[in-house]
Structure 1
Amino acid sequence: MTDILQSPLTRKLQVFVTLSEDELGVLKRLHLRRRSFTAGRDLVHQGQSDQAAYILAAGWVCSYKLQPDGTRQIVDFQIPGDFLGLRSVLLRTSDHSFEPVTDIQAAEVFADDILDSFEKTPRLAAAILWAASRDEAMVVEHLVGIGRRAADVRIAHFLLELGARLKLVGMGDQTGYDCPLTQYHLADALGLSAVHVNRILRKLRESGLVTFRNDRVTFDNYDGLLELSGFDPGYLDQTGPLLK
């Protein structure tokens, strides 16, 4: 069980529930079909039906919707421990696309696997529902950010949220984290132009708050960034197991 205990998904789910040996065994079986995918080639296309879901084990992915004029809105970024396309596989048709930002490793999971796991281990099902609810809460925050937050607050909030998510799976802390995203990714996610993103990142760096350079986000003044952004991680629900 050592390998599954080190899985990013296990680390995340155990924030909600202390998993039993049987539940860990089911989770291990969900990880059996490991696949590799290359950066820049979609795993799932918008409108695709009868596709699998995936558990991201390594690498970064963006989920996005393509507009008729060819522009895209990035809905979210997935990091190790996240599900890809869980909602879409249960609804049978994907309403958005998934593109690896880096080369990735992911476990392929079919609808029958998920439903069987839910039937056998209802507490594990509850934990996965918690993870899905948490993802929905993040989308709500992103909507608020795009609609109501100033550009500097929007970027600061987003970088802090990523940091909190990565800390949960052992990939970041209050000093910062490795991040492969480009300014174009941030622009497509935050409703800004890449030029505006560049300007704001420079402003935040010159203010001594955060530096995003060479694929690394460094929190130069974590408390100051919190104050600027108004970031409250309560919606991420990372305080400890609800179920023992």
Structure 2
Amino acid sequence: MAFIETSPLTRKLSAFVALSQVELDVLKQLHRRRRSFVAGRDMVYQGEARQAAYILSAGWVCSYKLQPDGTRQIVDFQVPGDFLGVRSVLLRTSDHSFEPIGDIEAAEVLAEDLLEAFARTPRLATAILWAVSRDEAMVVEHLVGIGRRGADARMAHFLLELASRLTLVGLGTREGYDCPLTQYHLADALGLSAVHVNRVLRQLRERGLATFRDGRVTLHDYPGLVELAGFDPAYLDHGGPLLR
């Protein structure tokens, strides 16, 4: 049982399917190649041909696309329990980069190890496919946010989504969570300027909805944030009959 308590991915998947001992053993094997990465140095580069994925164990990562003029668009943030680079294993080339935000720990999963795990435990493969599909659904939701939501609703939606993701792995609650992101990270991810991010966060604070200060997000009025964002957590589907 110690592995369930120490592995965010196992905790995440256990919320949706009762893992057997065989499945727990396979997950433990997937964590055996543990690596550390320092802040600011990409662990995977856009265009890199690498037959490996990663399971994030500790710390945060941002995934981003680099533009020809040197600017970047942050696509998403990864938190403990997330897979990184599964698509690059299947497509053979990474279509975006991963940069640690602070020092992180991750397990390297080679393509052959992942395929062997899927072959041995089809139900676990389904659970992992669910987790990866959920990540893709979040990217779609972010695209909708940038295209259709106002800045305040966009920020509120983002903070609520992080609360849900972190609560799932025991790193947050509806009241708040630690968050290492800077206003520049938020600006790149939400399609806003850093000045605009500062203004929106101040407005949320003054309205008594949320505060982001000193690496901590505090959600003062969760229902109010949900109403402002039009937040429907259905895209963060918490499992279904397929996984039971």
TM range (shorter): over 0.9
Aligned to 1:182: 182
Q: Does the CA contact (< 8 Å) of 1:17 and 1:242 recur in 2? A: no
The 5 Å alignment of 1:148-163 reads 148-163=148-163
Q: Does the CA contact (< 8 Å) of 1:209 and 1:220 recur in 2? A: yes
The 5 Å alignment of 1:38-187 reads 38-187=38-187
**What amino acid is the match of 1:160?**
L
CA distance in 1, matches of 2:208, 2:173: 18
CA distance in 1, matches of 2:33, 2:214: 33
Q: Does the CA contact (< 8 Å) of 1:63 and 1:99 recur in 2? A: yes
Aligned to 1:220: 220
TM-score, L = length of structure 2: 0.97
Q: Does the CA contact (< 8 Å) of 2:23 and 2:121 recur in 1? A: yes
Alpha-carbon offset, residue 220 of structure 1: 1.2
Alpha-carbon offset, residue 50 of structure 1: 2.1
CA distance in 2, matches of 1:132, 1:36: 22
CA distance in 1, matches of 2:128, 2:217: 29
Aligned to 1:57, what secondary structure does the other structure show?
strand
CA distance in 1, matches of 2:94, 2:117: 22
Note the residue ranges of structure 2 that are not aligned, 5 or more in a row. Answer: none
Q: Does the CA contact (< 8 Å) of 1:18 and 1:241 recur in 2? A: no
Q: Does the CA contact (< 8 Å) of 1:59 and 1:105 recur in 2? A: yes
Alpha-carbon offset, residue 241 of structure 1: 7.2
Q: Does the CA contact (< 8 Å) of 1:4 and 1:27 recur in 2? A: no
Indicate whether 1:202 and 2:205 are aligned: no
Q: Does the CA contact (< 8 Å) of 1:4 and 1:28 recur in 2? A: no
Alpha-carbon offset, residue 222 of structure 1: 1.1
Alpha-carbon offset, residue 232 of structure 1: 1.1
**What amino acid is the match of 1:212?**
F
Q: Does the CA contact (< 8 Å) of 1:60 and 1:104 recur in 2? A: yes
Note the residue ranges of structure 1 that are not aligned, 5 or more in a row. Answer: none
CA distance in 1, matches of 2:230, 2:4: 36
Alpha-carbon offset, residue 239 of structure 1: 5.9
Identity of aligned residues (%): 76
Aligned to 2:2: 2
CA separation of 1:239 and 1:175: change in aligned 2, threshold 3 A = farther
CA distance in 2, matches of 1:235, 1:18: 22
Q: Does the CA contact (< 8 Å) of 1:210 and 1:217 recur in 2? A: yes
CA distance in 2, matches of 1:117, 1:124: 8
Aligned to 1:95, what secondary structure does the other structure show?
coil
**What amino acid is the match of 2:147?**
G
Alpha-carbon offset, residue 238 of structure 1: 2.2
